[in-house]
Structure 1
Amino acid sequence: PAGWLVVSDSDDPSVEDLGDTRRWTFPATPPLSTYVPVINAGPLYELRSERGGYDLGLYSRQSLAPFLDRDAEFLFDLTARGLAFFGDQFDLPFPQRTYDQVFMPEFGGAMENFGCVTWSDAFIYRSAPSPSERELVAIILLHEMAHMWFGDMVTMAWWDDLWLNEAFANWACYWAATEATEFTDAWASFLAGDKLQAYPVDRGPTSHPIRQAAGDVAEATAGFDAITYEKGAAVLKQLVAYVGEEAFVAGLRSYFKKHAWGNASLDDLMGELAEASDRDLTVWTRGWLDRSGTDILRLVSADGSGLALEAAGPDGEPPRPHRLHLGVFERADGALVRRDVVGLVVESATTPIPDLGDTFDVVLVNDDDLTFAAVHLDEDNLSRLVESAGELPAATSRAVAVVTLWDMVASGALPAVDFVRATNAVLAEETADALVEPFLDLVLIAGMRWTPHDQRDDVLGSVADLCMELAGQDSRRMVAVRGLARAAVTDEQLAALRELTADDVDLSWRALIRFAALGQFDERAVEDLRGRDTNPDAWVRALAVEAARPDADSKRAVWQAVVEQHKVPIGSFREIAPAFWQPSQADLLAPFAERYLAELPGLGSAGMIVAMSTAGAMFPLHGVGEDFVARVTAVASAPDVSPVVRQRVLEAADQLSRRLRARGQDA
């Protein structure tokens, strides 16, 4: 149609006017893999800007024009910074003049099409984005941009190196964000968000080596998980620490120079890194890429001779080689300061720690988050960390502390109540705006999923009280009210929630979900809000309110729309699923656990993305016990269940089993 715009991979198309239609002809691209070309067409809204010698474009639905206008300067600036940073670091500028980004409805995530990245338009936020949402947009933008070099210009020779494609982009986006943008604490966010997702998968029944054979595309896509993306990125960060950043970047430059516009393998990359660093990386590669599972590092008192670090691989195997930091903190003038950083090379079961004296208050294992390992503490050092985590001076140090404590909850070594108390203290003093939301999410998950039923309301109430305090700070208000909408339990907290959300459409939807979950559904309020909400997907927000109701008919209607009819965009699952599986509705939810078992074998027919998203998001969180874990594991292991569904279910079942043990087996 003549009123449409067309956007593709190459720049400067010729456009022929044919009356009611137009013909768009794009120049040939450089040699590309078949999975990265794209054509986008529609009545799109367009913005353009010249930055750093590049012609940058942004596109969206017309209805999102005001929000794209609001975010345009942020997106253009990030894009220009990223292109300049990667071009300089890789000694290979992006090779064409245009770089377009197209935000599309009902699109899953984002895709690195050469010179024409496609995004889900859910990332054009209808309300002003929170600090962590702004950072997330930057991370995704830089992740897809990194693929222009690693994936598009140099493409893996076969699918068994898919992990490297994604892990590299994930590492590179945080590296670029830290070095070239306002998000200088991005590595702390990586740990508290992305990396944290990899630990439960890597310790669970679906753990696998980062590098594994892929006979076909189906086998490769089954490996799209947190080990591929998040653990892979963390292991590359450890590799940078192992060889040094200067040598790592030099190896990358040589790799791109030799293999641009062609195919390459992991061996090609490791060869360049070995030459640049003058190190034999064979043992490192075998240990980190060909072995599954997570090493455990234990800080222990060494019989009167100070401290030692014990290390063990999975199932008692020898540990991998680790280069890491110990942060040594003590109080000075009333504040906790990092007195020393001890660099350790861990290559055996026990690594002595140099004498730290007797004036330290906290020793933080894996400070600066250089390696991928679970950290366990003895009683004395755990107590020190619980009491002092919020006082640690650096954002990454605080993230290391919170994740260390969270991992001990998951391993059964720390009650969720103690984790919430310690992390609430961190949140009360947190200075990095982008860390508030992921930390708050952890205490909410701890309260709703890991805390025994008879303590749940008290724990959530403590989080809600904290949110009410944080809501008084302008930079924290939105995130705090979002947290209050998940935690409010008392009349005072609910009244505050109603008052704090009255003038904001997004926050009002969140509040209505909370009220509905507590039996205070207001149909007129839902209809009024739908009338105020200009988002075409407002019906999905209303469905989330319906999902939260303690009403069997409402639950059935939502289940049918999400699981059976696949009517709901997968990007909305993150709101509908937790609204559906309310911790206070165990008896009501039990029948839907049975329906989940019945639906599993057929989910694969919906396609890979829908199947894996539905299986993961709608996995029962409440209303089930250990008997369900055994049954769902058996159903998922049957040959008629697709591999991607099986993987998500087995991961979720393992986490459910851990939560049931932590809660004392209550549903």
Structure 2
Amino acid sequence: MGVRSLTRAEAEERAELLEVERYDVSVDFTDLPDGPDVRCVSTITFSCTEPGGETFVDCAATVLSATLNDVPLPPAAEGRIALRGLAAHNTLRVETVQSDTTHGPGVHRAVDPSDGEVYVWTSFEPDEARFVWACFDQPDLKAPHAFTVTAPAGWTVTSNAGTARTETLGGARRWTFPDTPPLSPYNTVVNAGPFHEIRRNAGGYDLGLYTRRSLAGALERDADEILTLTAQGLAFFARVFAMPFPQHRYDQVFVPEFGGAMENYGCVTWSDDFLRRSAPTPAERELLAKVLLHEMAHMWFGNIVTMRWWDDLWLNEAFAEFACHWAATSATAHTDAWAGHLAGGKLKAYLADQGPATHPIRQPVHDVDEAAAIFDDITYPKGASVLQQLMTYLGEEAFSAGMSDYFARHAWGTTTLQDLVDALGRASGRDLDAWKTGWLDTAGTDRLTLDHGPGGAVLHATGPSGAPPRPQVLAVGAYRRTATGLERTARTTVEVRGPRTPVDLPAGADLYLVNDDDLTFATVRPDAASRDALLRYAADLPTALSRGVAVATVWDMLVNGEATAAEAARGIGAVLEAETCDAAVEPYLTLAGDIAELWAPEGRRVALEAEFAATCRRLADRARHPAGRRVALRSLARAASGGALERLRAEAVEDDDYDLRWRALARAAELGEDTAAEAARLLAADPDPDAHLQELRVRAGVPDARVKAAVWQALAIERAVPVSWVGRVAAAFWRPGQDEVLRPFTRRYLDLVPGLGRGGMIPAMVYTGRLLPRFAIDGGFLDEALAVAGTAAPVVRKTLTEHADVTRRMLRSRGTVEPDAV
């Protein structure tokens, strides 16, 4: 039998019945240097409001023994152990072993291929702690956790509660950690391995960084920057939330084969892919800063105050995504963070919010399996943008005061959306019911247009499906042409309360920009007279945000079939030539490369790729600094051919840039060159401990059925590629112009779909979305994939629905499906 998903009704019933006093969890990692087993003893003390009642404890690991008040319990079934005849006060002891530490959820054993060292990490959101030890795995049953960890003597162990007491036990060491504050099970963590450690005191905190030994050099290179950002973030959030982070120690652990980052209280776990093997680009540095601040914001929003159930997931993820941009622009060197957000995540959110998988930011969640399906571009970038609009709507001072009130009232407890709305309403004096209904309980995107008539300018706003627009505050800018570009001559703030809003703007401007400064979440359309001006003048706008709003409009026109790939490529290419915001250049290059490769009709693809390559070369040749040149050359590797590719390969060797050498080699392999010998030499020379993944990416692009089959086996069947690398290898596998070789693998993808949910939420999302074919398919294939997904896990169905919609839009732009098929 499978493992049952906890329902909301079950969670509410259990929360009424129980109060968890504490967890004492003993963890044994001593088998892991050579074996797979993690052994645990979870001792839970809890009270029961109805003595004699019954419930269950979550436990999906193999149970070796279980007793309730010293009475043996029956075997677990469907990931649960029945608890009957509860006393007023109870002690539950469950001994478990988890042996699936390679592909199973909750805990992972990774082996560094460069030196054979073993590292182990845990990650539990939304309900994966139960796969490692017994617990009441729901957010609102918070309790202190005391971890005792036995690990090999040469290992270091990290956990939530800071400094541990250690003792030597022969060839092992026991780490006894202090009690945590009251935490939900998903916010706890234990990591272990022979880590390289850096510690520093800053801003009154003891800050720690950890990584595997083979990446010590990369961590040492970036440590000053990471620690500076950490101190800046802790100071910023302490100020705007009127609550300092309450623990002296704050650790960040970079581990192999991890997806993204996780906000465990006081001990954030990161994918060590964030420790770049070559010097980070501006966009990579900004991403690291935003992820660091996102996870830090969770210390308050998610850990100190926790949502009661997963229908208020947005309270956690959307807020942290908003807060990381707020902190970055206010307290760090990344003052253009909102421009980077618009150039990357927000464009994805606009696309997702107009597709079949859209959903309200807040929605009913029947069980935790459904919750796992809403960690997406609606929850994260749309949620962040909606909260930015809320702060604009209320004013930053009132917003900060409301958040401070919220944390003061609910620290170490659990809340609902209404608790947050009430706090913000009290601080601002505004009734937020209409705002809440429009923005949080309604799916879809508003549309804004500006008309100029004899009576002046009028802003027209419509909500999703033609409904009235949401209440919002935005800006409209008027621009005139000068010898050096466009100059803003007026900016008007508009509060939208209905479909028509008069706007006080001077007549005769060369361009009117709706949603100037990107203050709201809404798509914009120029009127017929302004369409050509927008495409022609977007690059001349004076700020990163104003150019970003123009790019967002052009992109949205492309994905909705209102602009061709050639028009979009020209508009975005012109912006790239003019862009001065380093962190925006890289996402725009990705966007422009995607348009040429994925959205262009077959008859135009080669020409658009050549135009894109020429843009990249010009950017590289006139770059203001080495990082800018590196970004342009990396993008050039995606589209270069002939002499341009040969020049690029020579430059990569001259610059001693291993990453660029691999990218250029992958392009050569895709174009049919025999690259095996050069790849073998490069693999032997590259000091990156994960260079074998670069070599796999080169092989993935080879247009040969046997080579493709071997890569597919490693990537999709054996899952021998870390989740952080799946997208890169898959993108090299599905290449344009290789349809005949690729077509058999489209059927193999369909065979995988029903089982793509295995391994937990993150792998399910990554494998479902990244492996989906982009070439050698038609609309019928996408229909078949969606039908096959009908029996898959909710997260697989949701992810496939979203990615299939984007792919169908690509096919429409290429001219291979009818316009009304989207």
TM-score (norm. length: structure 1): 0.97
Q: Residue by residue, what CA displacement relative to the aligned partner does 1:272-328 show, whole Å, maximum 9, x if unpaired?
A: 1001100100011001111111111123344x4443322222222222122111121
In structure 2, the CA distance between the partners of 1:19 and 1:635, relative to structure 1 (3 Å rule), is closer
Q: Which has the higher strand share?
A: 2
Aligned to 2:568: 419
More deviation in 614-623 or 534-543? 534-543
In structure 2, the CA distance between the partners of 1:200 and 1:335, relative to structure 1 (3 Å rule), is closer
1:408 aligns with 2:557: yes
Aligned to 1:174: 325
Whether the 8 Å CA contact 2:199–2:209 is kept in 1: the answer is yes
Aligned to 1:445: 594
Aligned to 2:608: 459
* CA–CA separation in structure 1 for the residues paired with 2:455 and 2:661: 58
Aligned equivalent of 1:431, options 580, 583, 598: 580
Secondary structure of the 2:631 match is: helix
Whether the 8 Å CA contact 1:192–1:403 is kept in 2: the answer is yes
* CA–CA separation in structure 2 for the residues paired with 1:141 and 1:316: 39
Aligned to 1:13: 164
1:308 aligns with 2:458: yes
Aligned to 1:508: 661
1:338 aligns with 2:491: no
Aligned to 1:356: 506
Aligned equivalent of 1:119, options 245, 263, 270: 270
C-alpha displacement of 1:607? 3.1
Secondary structure of the 1:367 match is: coil
1:634 aligns with 2:781: no
Whether the 8 Å CA contact 1:49–1:55 is kept in 2: the answer is yes
Q: What is the letter of the counterpart of residue 480 of structure 1?
A: A
Aligned equivalent of 2:536, options 358, 377, 387: 387
C-alpha displacement of 1:355? 4.2
Residues 21-170 of structure 1 correspond to what in structure 2 (within 5 A)?
A: 21-170=172-321
C-alpha displacement of 1:103? 0.4
Aligned to 2:750: 597
Larger Rg: 2
More deviation in 650-659 or 98-107? 650-659
Aligned to 2:619: 470
Secondary structure of the 1:35 match is: helix
Q: Residue by residue, what CA displacement relative to the aligned partner does 1:53-96 show, whole Å, maximum 9, x if unpaired?
A: 11110000010011110001001100011111111111111111
More deviation in 253-262 or 11-20? 11-20
Q: What is the letter of the counterpart of residue 608 of structure 1?
A: M
* CA–CA separation in structure 2 for the residues paired with 1:625 and 1:299: 38
Q: What is the letter of the counterpart of residue 97 of structure 1?
A: H
Q: What is the letter of the counterpart of residue 573 of structure 2?
A: N
C-alpha displacement of 1:214? 1.5
Residues 640-655 of structure 1 correspond to what in structure 2 (within 5 A)?
A: 640-655=791-806
Residues 566-645 of structure 1 correspond to what in structure 2 (within 5 A)?
A: 566-636=719-789, 638=790, 640-645=791-796
Aligned equivalent of 2:369, options 218, 234, 238: 218
C-alpha displacement of 1:535? 2.2
Structure 2 regions of 5+ residues with no counterpart? 1-151
C-alpha displacement of 1:606? 3.9
Secondary structure of the 1:621 match is: coil
Q: Residue by residue, what CA displacement relative to the aligned partner does 1:524-579 show, whole Å, maximum 9, x if unpaired?
A: 11001100122232221111111101111111111121112211111002211111
Whether the 8 Å CA contact 2:471–2:497 is kept in 1: the answer is yes
C-alpha displacement of 1:332? 3.7
Q: Which has the higher helix share?
A: 1
Whether the 8 Å CA contact 1:416–1:451 is kept in 2: the answer is yes
1:204 aligns with 2:347: no
* CA–CA separation in structure 2 for the residues paired with 1:330 and 1:511: 43
1:295 aligns with 2:460: no
Whether the 8 Å CA contact 1:481–1:500 is kept in 2: the answer is no
C-alpha displacement of 1:12? 2.8
Aligned equivalent of 2:696, options 528, 536, 543: 543
Whether the 8 Å CA contact 1:530–1:539 is kept in 2: the answer is yes
More deviation in 314-323 or 541-550? 314-323
Q: What is the letter of the counterpart of residue 402 of structure 1?
A: V
More deviation in 574-583 or 65-74? 574-583
Secondary structure of the 2:525 match is: strand
Whether the 8 Å CA contact 1:465–1:493 is kept in 2: the answer is no
* CA–CA separation in structure 1 for the residues paired with 2:767 and 2:446: 31
More deviation in 70-79 or 497-506? 497-506
Aligned to 1:484: 636
Whether the 8 Å CA contact 2:526–2:534 is kept in 1: the answer is no
Whether the 8 Å CA contact 1:298–1:309 is kept in 2: the answer is yes
* CA–CA separation in structure 1 for the residues paired with 2:796 and 2:345: 21
More deviation in 45-54 or 6-15? 6-15
* CA–CA separation in structure 2 for the residues paired with 1:294 and 1:457: 34
Secondary structure of the 1:296 match is: strand
Whether the 8 Å CA contact 2:195–2:211 is kept in 1: the answer is yes
Q: Residue by residue, what CA displacement relative to the aligned partner does 1:86-123 show, whole Å, maximum 9, x if unpaired?
A: 11111111111111100011011111111111100010
C-alpha displacement of 1:19? 4.2
* CA–CA separation in structure 1 for the residues paired with 2:569 and 2:762: 34
* CA–CA separation in structure 2 for the residues paired with 1:666 and 1:320: 34
Q: Residue by residue, what CA displacement relative to the aligned partner does 1:586-618 show, whole Å, maximum 9, x if unpaired?
A: 222222112212221122234332222111001
C-alpha displacement of 1:335? 3.2
* CA–CA separation in structure 2 for the residues paired with 1:285 and 1:275: 15
In structure 2, the CA distance between the partners of 1:11 and 1:608, relative to structure 1 (3 Å rule), is closer
* CA–CA separation in structure 2 for the residues paired with 1:309 and 1:647: 35
C-alpha displacement of 1:374? 1.3
Whether the 8 Å CA contact 1:164–1:232 is kept in 2: the answer is no
* CA–CA separation in structure 2 for the residues paired with 1:394 and 1:223: 34
TM-score (norm. length: structure 2): 0.79
Whether the 8 Å CA contact 1:135–1:434 is kept in 2: the answer is yes
Whether the 8 Å CA contact 1:329–1:363 is kept in 2: the answer is yes
Whether the 8 Å CA contact 2:360–2:441 is kept in 1: the answer is yes
Secondary structure of the 1:549 match is: coil
Aligned to 2:420: 269
Q: Residue by residue, what CA displacement relative to the aligned partner does 1:350-403 show, whole Å, maximum 9, x if unpaired?
A: 223224221x12111111111111111223212111111111111111111111
More deviation in 382-391 or 248-257? 382-391
Q: What is the letter of the counterpart of residue 766 of structure 2?
A: S
* CA–CA separation in structure 2 for the residues paired with 1:256 and 1:22: 38
Q: State the Cα RMSD in Å.
A: 1.4
In structure 2, the CA distance between the partners of 1:630 and 1:21, relative to structure 1 (3 Å rule), is closer
* CA–CA separation in structure 1 for the residues paired with 2:484 and 2:586: 28
Whether the 8 Å CA contact 2:779–2:817 is kept in 1: the answer is no
C-alpha displacement of 1:333? 4.8
* CA–CA separation in structure 1 for the residues paired with 2:196 and 2:521: 43
* CA–CA separation in structure 2 for the residues paired with 1:466 and 1:563: 35
* CA–CA separation in structure 2 for the residues paired with 1:62 and 1:334: 52
* CA–CA separation in structure 1 for the residues paired with 2:640 and 2:425: 54
* CA–CA separation in structure 2 for the residues paired with 1:2 and 1:393: 59
